[in-house]
Amino acid sequence: MKYRTGLLLSAAFAMGVLVSPVTMLLRQHSGFGVFTSAQAQQDNTRSDPYTLLNLFADVFEKVRADYVEPPKDREMIENALSGMLSGLDPHSRYINARAYRAQQVEQKGEFGGLGIEITQEGGFIKVISPIDDTPAKRAGVKAGDLIVAIDGVTVLGMSLEDAVDKIKGAPNTKVSVTIRRIGADKPIEMSMTRETIKTPVVKSRLEGDVAYIRLSSFMNEQGDRDLRKAFADLKAKSGGKLAGVILDLRSNPGGLLDQAVAISTDFLKQGEVVSIRGRHPEDGQRWQAKNGDITDGLPVVVMIDGGSASASEIVAGALQDHRRAVLVGTRSFGKGSVQTVSPLGNNGAMALTTARYYTPSGRSIQGLGITPDVEVAMTREERPSFFPAREADYKGILSNTGGAPTDSLAPRTDLPAIAKDIPKKPPEGTPAFDPAKPETDFQLQQALIVLHAMSPKPAAN
């Protein structure tokens, strides 16, 4: 796809004798010289970008000269970039150099480290879970452990990002962590050697005769490859007697567009997967599935919920429009836009919303989400949310334009008869969900019922 780029020219104020390197840079790249305040006031009715950039330079120099403490130029510029991009819509953003490096590592799916999922709690770093077959797992790190120091340096006051940077490093280098554990009467010191850690986004298992495949993200460039391998392994374990596939996309926030297309193609023999349309008609593009469907026509159920966004919705929308899968769960997030990430040299990158995407039937799900074919909630009571639960909850979202009417997709006539009897909520007394016990996953149990009803019945003898 071609994307237009432009050259930004600007001019700046001269504030007495105080002219920063940033102001000089603005001046050097301007064909307009330097305006005086009087000139700027005469031109304040103009709205061309050069006059407005003079306003930026004026404020920048005023802050440098008079703020109560000396500010850092880079931080001010990066904050300005963040404000400019985030003010466009909820998904355009500036990515600083460190965050961009971390994003690139995440996309490759491997890094040098210990193999622990962590979060921040009470000023300390809490272990969510150690990853199997990693230094952390072999050393005995446990879920719930609190990391209180890294290489002898306390983590109090340390950001989660800084802690991650200290734990990660080149393979075959050592790092020590100090852990507090419930039940232990003193801190535990562990010294571990970093290894290359792979971050799997695919988890799979057999649920009886059903291949259950969970995809937690589309950010990993290896997601499609790992999904294919997972399906092949489960098919072999079942002796080639699978009844169908459940693709679990719940709480999957999305990621790479090419991974969404590839994974959709894994279940489609042919047909359009997704199209995108940007500001310029010539930049529109369509992606087609060709010679796909690794399942050879097995029934497929896709599970979605309010956390299924972006690339997850592309896959769910494509399989729903083509009547290739039955969607079970709750309405998805509703992010129908595409962001293009443009590197900015050594200064990170910018993610800019450049297009809306549309399902094969022409629907835009922007702000609306995808409605499942069989609605099933995880709990009886809706859980309170203190953050935007869906795209429509954000301020400044893109409008839903250019797509087919929301009711343009004809009602499904191919659902199994039992679908109408599936309860929308768990009955009274249903056990609370425990991730370690699939039988307590009410949505999954209903998905299994739907899938078995979709499976072809063996012929009578």
Catalytic residue selected from 92, 235, 335, 373: 335
| Annotation marks residue 455 as catalytic | no
101 located within any domain: no
Query: Are residues 261 and 152 part of one domain?
Result: no
156, 173, 198 - which closes a domain: 198
Query: Are residues 270 and 166 part of one domain?
Result: no
Query: Are residues 247 and 147 part of one domain?
Result: no
Residue 239 predicted with pLDDT over 80: yes
Residue by residue, DSSP assigns 245-303 as: EEEE-TT---B-HHHHHHHHHTT-SEEEEEEEEESSGGG-EEEEEES--TTSS--EEEE
50 located within any domain: yes
162's enclosing H/E stretch is helix 160-167
Residue 46 predicted with pLDDT over 70: no
Name the percent of the chain lying above pLDDT 70: 87
341 located within any domain: yes
CATH code, 206: 3.90.226.10
Q: What is the mean pLDDT of residues 352-360?
A: 95
Catalytic residue selected from 321, 337, 364, 373: 321
pTM: 0.77
CATH code, 146: 2.30.42.10
| Annotation marks residue 335 as catalytic | yes
| Annotation marks residue 162 as catalytic | no
Query: Are residues 169 and 134 part of one domain?
Result: yes
Spatial CB neighbours of 411, under 8 Å, sequence gap ≥ 6: none
Query: Are residues 363 and 269 part of one domain?
Result: yes
198, 225, 258 - which closes a domain: 198
Distance CA(418)–CA(415), nearest Å, equals 8
Query: Are residues 140 and 220 part of one domain?
Result: no
Q: What is the pLDDT of residues 103-134, one digit of tens each?
A: 887 777 777 889 887 888 777 888 877 877 88
Query: Are residues 304 and 251 part of one domain?
Result: yes
- Classified as helix, coil or strand, 325 is coil
Distance CA(217)–CA(448), nearest Å, equals 22
Catalytic residue selected from 217, 275, 310, 332: 310
- 152 is in which domain, residue-wise? 110-198
Quick one: angle between helices 21-28 and 73-86, nearest 10?
Answer: 60
